[in-house]
Structure 1
Amino acid sequence: MTPAARIAAAIEVLTDIDARRRPATDALKDWGLSHRFAGSKDRAAIASLVYDALRRKASAAWIMGDKSPRAVTLGMLRLQKELEPDAIARLFSGERFAPEPLTDAERERLASASLDGASEADAGDFPEWIAPSLHRMFGEDVVPEMQALTARAPLDLRVNTLKVASREEAHDALPHLGAIETPHSPLGLRIAPGEDGRGPAIQAEPEFLKGWVEIQDEGSQLAALLSAVQPGEQVVDLCAGGGGKTLALAAMMDNHGQIYATDNDARRLAPIHERLTRAGVRNVQVRTPRGGADAISDLDGRIDCVLVDAPCTGIGTWRRNPDAKWRLRPGSLEVRRKEQSAVLDRAARLAKPGGRIVYVTCSILPEENDDSLAAFLDRTDGFQPLSHGEILDAAGLGKLKEVLRQTRYGWQMTPLRTSTDGFYVAVLVRSS
C-alpha cells in the first residue's frame, strides 16, 4: 500500500471507532480481516496512524476546527508528524486509493496551525472532566505534562541479574537493537520506537529466550527498586498479574527469601509460570485463588513487604494506550477507588510489625494515589508513611529526587520529568 492509501485506511478505521464507539484494537482487527491484501507492514503502519490520531484527537480537532476522522488525521499529521501543508497535500491527492484533495479551508487551517487559545483539555489532549484532578497534581504544568503523554513510548528492557552479570553485558549482546541505557534505572535498556510504531521482535531474540532481559517500562523498574526488598525477606506481590514486578523483586532478592505472587483475577496469573522458569526464578510461590477462597490467609502478620500494584485507571500509560483516554468515564474512577480500598485493607493484614506496604499505581490522579492512602490511614491504625527521603535512600536512588514530583505521601513519575510511564510510589510502615 502507498503512504496515501494507508492514511485513507486509517481514516476508515477512525470512522468505525467513532460510529460504533468501540476499542481501536477491535476496529483495526476487523479492518485487517476485511482487507486481507494488506501485509503486516501495512497493518502496522495503519495502526500507528490510528493511534497517533487518538493521541492528538483533541488538539488536532482544535487546529482544524472539525472533529471528523479526516480532520483529526490531518491535524495529527501536522502536529504529531510535523508535516508541512504541501507534504500533506501530496498525500491527500484524490488519486487512486488516496484521500480526497484538501479543501481551501483545510489548507488554510494547516498553514496557520496553532494551539493558541485552545483550552487546556484540547491543548493537552485529555478529557476535560479530569482537569481539576490534573491541576491538583501539576498546577500550571498541566498542558506540558499531558502533552508529554501524547508521545510514543519507547521499548524498555530490564536486565535480569539472575542470568547475566551486568547491564553492560546484556547491552553488548544486543548491538543490532540500537539500545541505550535508561537514564534512571541501573538495570534498564531503551529502544526507540520505529517510524511505523513497532519495536523489534524482542521475544524472538536468543537473549530474551534465555531470560537475560524482560520487557518492562523504566518506571515499573523503578517502582520495584523503590520497594527496597532484601534477600531473605518474606514478600507478597498482592496484584501480581503477569508477574513483571514479581520477576524484578526476585532478582533484587537474588532468589533468597520468599515471594508469594497472587491476584484476585486468576486469569491474569496465567503467563507468570513460564516467565518465572525463563528468568531462572526459584523463590516464588504462585498462589492462585480458587473458588473465591483467600489464597494467602496463612500469611497474615508474617510479611516484611507487601507490594500493592493497585488496580487503577492507567492514565499514566496513555502513551502506550491512547485509545483508553477517550473511553475513560468518572464511574471508572470510582470503581478503581473501591478496589484500591479493598486491596490496601488486605495488605494491612499481611504486614507484620515493622513490615511495609509499597503502594504503586500507573496513574497521575491524586484520587488514586495520595487520596487512597489518606483514606486508608484514616481508617487503619498502626501505619505511618515513610518519608520521601527514606523511600529513595532505602533503595539507593537518592538522585531521583531531582526529577520526581513529590506528593503528600509519595513520589510521582511522569513522561515529562522522568521519560517513563506515569507511576506513583509510596511506602507505609506498620508500627504495631
Structure 2
Amino acid sequence: MRLGGRLAAAIEILEDIDRRYRPAAEALKDWGLSHRFAGSKDRAAIGNIVYDALRRKRSAAWIFQDESPRALAFGAFLIEAGFDAEMLNAALAEDNFAPQPISSEEAARIAAHPLDQAPDGVRAECPEWCEPLFQRAWGDDWVAEAAALAERPPLDMRVNMLKATREKVAKALARTGVHESELAPQGLRIGPIEGQGRHPNVQAEPAFQKGWFEVQDEGSQLVASLTEAAPGMQVLDYCAGAGGKSLAMSAAMENTGQIQAFDAEKQRLAPIFDRLKRAGCRNVQAVANPEALAMHEGKFDLVVVDAPCTGAGTWRRRPDAKWRLAEKQLEQRQAEQSEILARASRFVRPGGRLAYITCSVFAEENDDQVRAFLEANPDFQPVDHAALWERHLPGQAAKARIDTTMGIALSPNRTATDGFHFAALERN
C-alpha cells in the first residue's frame, strides 16, 4: 500500500472508533482481520497514523479547523511527518486509493492556523475539561507536561535479575537498537517509532521466552524500586493486576520472603501465572479471595497499592483513552482510591510501610488522596521522599518533581517515562 491507501484506511478506522465509541486497538484489529491483503508493514503504518491522530487530535483539528476523521488523519500526518499541503497532495496524486487531496480552501486554513499561534489547550493536546487539572497539578509547566503525553512512546524493558544481567540481555537484543535506560538500573529502552516504522516484537525473542526480561515502562520500574522491597520481607501487592510490580519486587527480594499478589478482579490476575513461571519467581502467591487475607491484618512489612486511576499518565500509549475520559469517571476513581487505601492500610504492621502508586498526573488522584489519608490516619506519616529518591537515584533530584510530604511525580516531560505518582507512608 502507498501513503494514500494507508491514509484512507486510517480514516476508515477513525470513523469506526468515533461511530462505535470503541478502543483503538479493537478497531485496528478488526480492520486487519477484514483486510488481510494488508501486510504487517502496512498495518503498522496505518496504526501509527491512527494513534498519531488521536494523540494530536486538538492540534490537527486546529490547523484544519475541522474535527472530521479525515482532518485528524491528514493533520496529524502533516505534523508528525513535517509535510506541507503541497507535499502531501503530490504523494496522494500517485495513489488511486487515496482520499480526496487537500483543497485550496483547506490549504488556506492550514496556512492561517500555525501551531505556534494556537491556544494553550490546543498545544497541550488534552481534553478541554482537563486543562484546569493540568494547571493545578503542574502550574506554569502545564502545557509542556500535557503536550509530552502526546508524543510517541519508547519501548521499555526490565531485566529480570533472577535470570540475567542487563549486559546479557542488551547483547541478545543488540540488533533491535536497544540501549540502557537513563534512570532505571535494570532498564533497557528502544526509542520511539520513527516515521511509519514499528517497534520490534521483542516478546518473540528467545531471551523473552527464557524469562530474561519483561516489557515494563521505565516509570513503572522506578516506582517498584522506590517501594524498597527487600530480601526476606512480607509484602502485599494489593492491586496486583497482571503482576508487573510483583515480578519486579520478587527480583529485588532475590526470591526470598513472600509476596501476596492480590486483586479483587480474578480476570485481571489471569496473566500472572504464566509470567511468574517464565520469570522464575517462587516467592509470589496469587490471591483473589479477600477472605484469605483477613488473617494477615497488621502483619505485612510492605503493602503496595497500585490504585485504579484515570490512567492519564499512560496517554502516550493509549491516546484514545483521554478522549473517552469524563469528569464522572475521575470522581469514581477518587472514591475507589480512598476506599482501597483505607482497606489496604489495615494490613501494614507497626513500623511497616504503605506505598501508594498511580499512573495519573492529576493532583486529585495523587496529592489530594495522600493528604486526606494522612489526615484520617494519624498513625501514618510520610517518609522523606527527597531522601528516598536520592538513595535510589543519587544526583538525579532535578529529574522528578519531589514533594517531601506528598510524594514523587514522574512524567514524560521530566523523566521521559509514563506519568506516575509515588508516595510512601510509614505506620508509627
**TM category, shorter:** over 0.9
Q: 2 CA distance for matches of 1:341 and 1:297?
A: 20
Q: Cα 1:240–1:106, aligned 2, differ >3 Å: closer, same or farther?
A: same
Q: 1 CA distance for matches of 2:44 and 2:6?
A: 10
User: Any gaps of 5 or more consecutive residues in structure 2?
Assistant: none
Aligned residues: CA RMSD? 1.6
Q: Tell me the secondary structure at the aligned position of residue 350 of structure 2.
A: strand
1:240 aligns with 2:240: yes
Whether the aligned pair in 2 keeps the contact of 1:24 and 1:323 (CA below 8 Å) is yes
1:398 aligns with 2:397: no
Q: Cα 1:174–1:268, aligned 2, differ >3 Å: closer, same or farther?
A: same
Residue 282 of structure 1, CA deviation? 1.1
1:309 to 297, 306, 310: 306
Question: What are the within-5 Å matches in structure 2 for residues 332-411 of structure 1?
Answer: 332-393=329-390, 395-407=391-403, 409-411=406-408
Deviates more, 1:360-369 or 1:117-126: 117-126
Q: 2 CA distance for matches of 1:78 and 1:196?
A: 13
Deviates more, 1:115-124 or 1:352-361: 115-124
Q: Cα 1:235–1:130, aligned 2, differ >3 Å: closer, same or farther?
A: same
Give the fraction of aligned pairs with identical amino acids, expressed as a percent: 51
Question: What are the within-5 Å matches in structure 2 for residues 314-329 of structure 1?
Answer: 314-329=311-326
2:191 is matched with 192
Q: 2 CA distance for matches of 1:46 and 1:411?
A: 37
Q: Tell me the secondary structure at the aligned position of residue 406 of structure 1.
A: strand
Q: Tell me the secondary structure at the aligned position of residue 145 of structure 1.
A: helix
Q: Which amino acid aligns with 2:39?
A: G
TM-score by length of 2: 0.96
Residue 406 of structure 1, CA deviation? 2.2
Deviates more, 1:151-160 or 1:20-29: 20-29
Q: Which amino acid aligns with 2:30?
A: D
TM-score by length of 1: 0.95
Residue 113 of structure 1, CA deviation? 5.0
Q: 2 CA distance for matches of 1:330 and 1:403?
A: 30
Whether the aligned pair in 2 keeps the contact of 1:91 and 1:99 (CA below 8 Å) is no
Q: 1 CA distance for matches of 2:291 and 2:118?
A: 51
1:86 aligns with 2:86: yes
Q: Tell me the secondary structure at the aligned position of residue 295 of structure 1.
A: helix
Which deviations, in whole Å up to 9, do the C-alpha atoms of 1:341-378 show, x marking residues without a partner? 12111221000011011111100000000111112122
Q: Tell me the secondary structure at the aligned position of residue 366 of structure 1.
A: coil
Q: Which amino acid aligns with 2:238?
A: L
1:35 is matched with 35
2:172 is matched with 173
What is the number of residues matched between the two proteins?
426
User: Any gaps of 5 or more consecutive residues in structure 1?
Assistant: none
Q: 2 CA distance for matches of 1:52 and 1:422?
A: 19
Q: Tell me the secondary structure at the aligned position of residue 303 of structure 2.
A: strand
Residue 116 of structure 1, CA deviation? 3.9
Q: 1 CA distance for matches of 2:3 and 2:118?
A: 30
Q: Cα 1:95–1:392, aligned 2, differ >3 Å: closer, same or farther?
A: closer
1:270 is matched with 270
